[in-house]
Structure 1
Amino acid sequence: MSSKTRQLAINGGPKTIEKTFPWPIYDESEVNAVAAVVAGGKWGNPDCGDEVERFERAFAEYCGSKYAITCVNGSVSLRLALMACGVEPGDEVIVPPYTFITTASSVIECNCVPVFVDIDPETYNISPAAIEAAITPRTKVIIPVHFGGLACDMDAIMDIAKRHQLKVIEDAAHGHGAEYKGKKLGSIGHVGSFSFQSSKNLTSGEGGIVITDDDELYAIMHSLRNVGRVEGGQWYEHYNPGCNYRITQMQAVLLSAQLKRLEAQTRKRNGNGLYLNGLLENIEGIAPLKRTEAVTLHGYHIYIFKYDASEFGGLPKSEFAAMLAAEGVPSFKGYPHPLYKQPLFQNKTWMCYAIPDTADYSQTHCPVAEQACDTDAIWILQHAMLGERADMEAFASAILKIQEAAR
């Protein structure tokens, strides 16, 4: 992991890493599967066709859940879960501020109030203590996000939910294949929600899915996904206010083929993450996020480390991130600010009519999330974590190269 002081790539010097890390990974099995659907002429999914049902069964079995219901994306999957959990206008839903917008915007789409609580400084996942402190008589649901593929403290969260009679929707958009105490993420709460968007660890370009063991929640989500129809009902009978959120046969066969790769890919990311942790722990000013023993398998959709500018000559995070990317590390500075600072919440447009005046997001302050956005968090993207150990060593060497130049 040694490096000589050299001109940085951002200034015209040679890159530390010249190779690229392709994503998605596929071969003729995906191509042939999609071609067979095209040739068969059954492309849509008017009544949950064979390939869609086949993938749903396989994904439910993989996660250890009773049911799985596909839908058009991971944003809709959250909305289906919220509606099935019985939220009503004005109900409060506890969410972290360090996540993608749809964790919170799906709450608004259900005419409910997102309540932002801070994240744990060691894991960047939602803080159970902060959840407990935020519960009010209007609280209905908790949405923990397994950010980057790192499992939340689900024992603590489920205990809080049980004591306060709340539903838990696991946002596992980053958590495909990852585990908490040997259980697949998404299978621990009342509902698990996943995305199959193009960057995700399991992808069909777009798509989503919800999993559950609860018969009633399954029936509601299945109906909402299919224009309010119910199983065994007539085609033009609509019992619930659902829409057409079905995926296509082509997406289903892509996902079935990709699912066969997921376990091996997850274990490779996990192994590379552990190895990279060991390398980066030896660099002053760099600290990998904490993994507890409960995290039996990390998905590393994002490998996150904390950056201390004081050990890099005061180099701002944004400049460090640009230098690291220029060295060939597939990396990014992460979110510019927590969700509650988005114009959607600061301005509270007319579309947020269910949010009361007492919910003043201009006064929301989550210091750990703000520090992560402003100065600390650096991301390495998931496809890079499918590299070899030599690549992990090169990532560490790139950081050392920047540090030596900064000093």
Structure 2
Amino acid sequence: MSSAFNRRKFISNVAIVGTGLAIGAPHIVSAGTSNTKPAILGGPRAHNGSFPSWPVQDAIEEKGLTEVLRSKKWGRLDGSQMAKFETEYSKLFGVKHSLGVSSGTSALTTILGALDIGPGDEVVIPVYTFVATYNVVVLNYALPILVDTDIESFQMDPVKAKAALTAQTRVIMPVHIGGSPVDIDAFVAMGKQHNIPVIEDACQAHLAEWKGVKVGNHGLAGAFSFQSSKNLNCAEGGAVITNNDDFITNCYTFHNQGQGGRSTSFSTGVGTRGTNLRLTEFQGSLLLAQMTRVAEQSNRRWENAQYLSRLLKEIPGITPAKLYPGTTRSAYHLYMFRYDKNHFAGLSREKFLQALSAEGVPNSAGYGQMNKSSYVTALATNKHYLKIYGEKTMQQWLERNQCPQNDLLTSQQSAWLFQNMLLGTKSDMEQIAEAMRKIQKYAAEIAKK
């Protein structure tokens, strides 16, 4: 996927780090006009300090890892940490069942495997997402149907998703991009009307809520990631959550080589296919330790993001991503906003972001145009896909994947800040806004640089 931001390079993108976590006084600084030159023009940086580092860890993690090491029970099949984690994770999300797996990608793979998705099936996904959402569909030789973006929210447009459904649609898989809920009611209603399961890709959305209920609870199942950049992390890992008793059994069986019990055997198992996507006891221990802080961190991000949004809405040309009315909590794995160069003397987004970096504010332009990347378009000439679907269908697939709103968003407007920045102080949020005001005042001069 062509993208200005690689999630695997998250840590390097937030190299300006520190440890301050206190939230300052709840006053709101007026968005007045800055008289200080931007740093890119030789002035002082708006943000002179450092944002909190990620991940956060202390003696709790060290103690837990040491205990697992000394137990000599390092895998879930003979240890106890993963079972304990799954119990606590279920409580955290208010869900009946959780299953730890080896990555967020593995969570989606497990779900699609349990649904027996394969050749001839279509899976509806957003075009604005990390490539893993696409990869899990293609690995099953199903057809990923890329749906255009609601430009105001950065989320998959439910109206266009509904129009993309066909008789071959087996799964609707919206993604809670940036940790903010999609219009869940629209997708759930769509799934019920057409008798198609809704799977929530919530890999970025730990503790996000829709009408007071955690995301991942609304469809058949939800998938989460614990990759190192995530709001809850153990370097690599993931989870499936569901309220369906039979479905979690199928998921466990699929991720455990077709073995339905809580161990392996010398038999071939049940079902017709499976794989090994188990998570280790070490990662279970890390997650249990990380969960001691996750609620407080979530609250901090939410409060700081709301404050930052109030500040940025006072700056013409800066528009925070819309939250749908049913949203009672965004996880803010990403703070997404749109940039309009017409309010910045025609300054390109790339130069705006460069100037913002110079102010000490890490950022990214975000995801690109996945539907137009060679990685995706080459699927139309893949020998296996041509054998399954034929040349005509694959050419029609390319035509179905036109996403003009996403093209506009990704080519000119989209911008991100990162979750660790929202663990800072209200002063940090004020300095982010001040940086943008400085850039706006001197935009014409920056454009000539």
**Normalising to structure 1: TM-score of the pair?**
0.95
For 2:157 and 2:99, locate their aligned partners in 1 and report how far apart those are by CA, in whole Å: 29
Structure 2 equivalent of residue 304 of structure 1: 336
Higher deviation after alignment, 354-363 or 119-128: 354-363
Structure 1 equivalent of residue 323 of structure 2: 291
CA contact (8 A) 1:191 1:212 kept: yes
**Partner amino acid, structure 1, of 2:292:** K
Structure 2 equivalent of residue 397 of structure 1: 434
Offset, 1:389 = 0.9
Across the aligned residues of Structure 1 and Structure 2, the Cα RMSD in angstroms comes to 1.7
**Partner amino acid, structure 2, of 1:24:** P
Structure 1 equivalent of residue 60 of structure 2: 29
Instruction: Name the % identity.
Output: 36
**Partner amino acid, structure 1, of 2:120:** G
Q: Does the alignment pair 1:320 with 2:352?
A: yes
CA contact (8 A) 1:6 1:405 kept: no
For 2:308 and 2:150, locate their aligned partners in 1 and report how far apart those are by CA, in whole Å: 21
Structure 2 equivalent of residue 68 of structure 1: 98
**Partner amino acid, structure 2, of 1:384:** M
Question: C-alpha offsets along residues 260-291 of structure 1, whole Å, 9 cap, x if unaligned?
Answer: 21111111111111111110110011111122
For 2:193 and 2:304, locate their aligned partners in 1 and report how far apart those are by CA, in whole Å: 38
Structure 2 equivalent of residue 40 of structure 1: 71
**Partner amino acid, structure 2, of 1:274:** Q
**Partner amino acid, structure 2, of 1:52:** M
Structure 1 equivalent of residue 255 of structure 2: 225
For 1:273 and 1:232, locate their aligned partners in 2 and report how far apart those are by CA, in whole Å: 42
Structure 2 equivalent of residue 210 of structure 1: 240
Offset, 1:328 = 1.3
**Partner amino acid, structure 2, of 1:350:** K
Higher deviation after alignment, 109-118 or 7-16: 7-16
Structure 1 equivalent of residue 409 of structure 2: 372
CA contact (8 A) 2:141 2:385 kept: yes
Question: C-alpha offsets along residues 19-50 of structure 1, whole Å, 9 cap, x if unaligned?
Answer: 13200111111111112211222222335x21
Q: Does the alignment pair 1:250 with 2:278?
A: no
Offset, 1:12 = 4.6
**Partner amino acid, structure 2, of 1:150:** S
Q: Does the alignment pair 1:261 with 2:293?
A: yes
> CA 1:268 to 1:352, structure 2 compared with 1: closer, same or farther past 3 Å?
farther
The equivalent position to 2:370 in structure 1, one of 335, 339, 344, is 339
Structure 2 equivalent of residue 350 of structure 1: 383
> CA 1:44 to 1:351, structure 2 compared with 1: closer, same or farther past 3 Å?
farther
CA contact (8 A) 2:51 2:420 kept: no
Structure 2 equivalent of residue 102 of structure 1: 132
**Normalising to structure 2: TM-score of the pair?**
0.87
How many pairs align?
Answer: 405
Q: Which has the higher contact order (CA 8 A, sep 6+)?
A: 2
Q: Does the alignment pair 1:182 with 2:208?
A: no
Structure 2 equivalent of residue 112 of structure 1: 142
For 2:394 and 2:307, locate their aligned partners in 1 and report how far apart those are by CA, in whole Å: 44
Contiguous gaps of at least 5 residues in structure 1: none
Where 2:422 maps in the other structure, the secondary structure is helix
Higher deviation after alignment, 184-193 or 122-131: 122-131
Structure 1 equivalent of residue 85 of structure 2: 55
Structure 1 equivalent of residue 151 of structure 2: 121
The equivalent position to 1:201 in structure 2, one of 221, 231, 243, is 231
Alignment of 1:139-178 (within 5 A): 139-178=169-208
**Partner amino acid, structure 2, of 1:14:** P
Question: C-alpha offsets along residues 338-363 of structure 1, whole Å, 9 cap, x if unaligned?
Answer: 22122222112336454543233543
> CA 1:62 to 1:356, structure 2 compared with 1: closer, same or farther past 3 Å?
farther
Higher deviation after alignment, 377-386 or 27-36: 27-36
**Partner amino acid, structure 2, of 1:338:** Q
Question: C-alpha offsets along residues 297-335 of structure 1, whole Å, 9 cap, x if unaligned?
Answer: 110000111100011111111111122122111211112
